[in-house]
Amino acid sequence: MPTGGILSITLSNAETGPGAPRELAPGRYVVLTVCDTGVGMDETTLARATEPFFTTKEPGKGTGLGLSMMQGVVSQSGGAARLRSRPGQGTQIEFWLPRAELAPAEPAVRRMHDEAEGDGAILVCDDNTAVLEYLCDALSTKGYRVLSATSGPSAISMLGKNESIRLLIVDFLMPEMNGAAVAREVRQRHPQLPILLITGNADPEVTHADLLDVPVLRKPFDRDQLATWVADLLAT
């Protein structure tokens, strides 16, 4: 809403049936609805709105992870998200969440997480806090124990102090020390440690990572793709 407008947030009770998202299991739900009177989205943009890292904003103005993270949280909770928008008519987002009728049981994710602790940790390094949160959450929900660092030097320092780290995931575009430089330094100090370099940029320096046998995962990617790469690297 670049010139202002109205943002409304409402809660309501609903049950599955006509008008409910088809992917929902039968039951009772709480619907969180967020509406704005902004510029809206055309069909092409709407189709990609929840895609991780997709954004119509200029570089440095947004990550494209907000809707993707919300959709992931809702889906993992057994709910569904629905998005409607038209150019000039604003946007409406519905988050359908199962109603809790009894005291919640221990989440299965936590049990997976505890079981994975014996296998060591994954260190994720990114200076962008939104991206870092997305990556850590994506891995945590898959059962991995995750550590985080916001700069290359801090990641290198953590590796020197924590022998339980089994994999380093590092973003390429970072100030002070980019991901390729981090990979080179880590290769010298910890030659057996698997490294995954993440980038959304076609910078020629990224190719230097290939010379160190460092795989490069390019944006955009989703949680399942990230999990597949991680599982393959940990299996080697």
Question: Tens digit of pLDDT for each residue in 205-223?
Answer: 555 555 567 888 888 888 8
What the block records as the tokens of 200 is 């959304």
Helix or strand holding residue 48 (H, E): helix 43-48
Nearest CA to 34 out of 97, 83, 93, 81 is that of 93
Determine the Cα angle at 55 with ends 53 and 61, to 5°. 100
pLDDT tier at 94, thresholds 50, 70, 90: very high
Query: DSSP label at 213?
Result: T
Dist CA 30 CA 9 (whole Å): 13
Peptide bond into 21 cis (omega under 30): no
> So where are the chain's domains?
7-98, 108-235
What the block records as the tokens of 34 is 């967020």
pLDDT tier at 224, thresholds 50, 70, 90: confident
**CB-based contact 181:152 (threshold 8 Å):** yes
Quickly count: other Cβ atoms within 10 Å of residue 134's Cβ. 24
Starting at the earlier edge strand, list the strands of the sheet with 145-149. Answer: 145-149, 121-125, 165-171, 195-199, 216-218
- Alpha-carbon distance values, 161 to 72, 140, 144, 145, 197 (Å): 33, 22, 19, 16, 21
For the cut 50, the answer to whether the pLDDT of residue 1 exceeds it is yes
Name beta bridge partners: 223: none
Name the class of domain 108-235: alpha beta
Dist CA 83 CA 198 (whole Å): 29
Helix or strand holding residue 75 (H, E): helix 66-76
pLDDT tier at 118, thresholds 50, 70, 90: very low
For the cut 50, the answer to whether the pLDDT of residue 25 exceeds it is yes
Nearest CA to 224 out of 232, 235, 213, 215 is that of 232
Look up the CATH architecture of domain 7-98. Answer: 2-Layer Sandwich (3.30)
Model confidence pLDDT, tens digit, residues 95-115 = 999 988 765 555 444 333 343
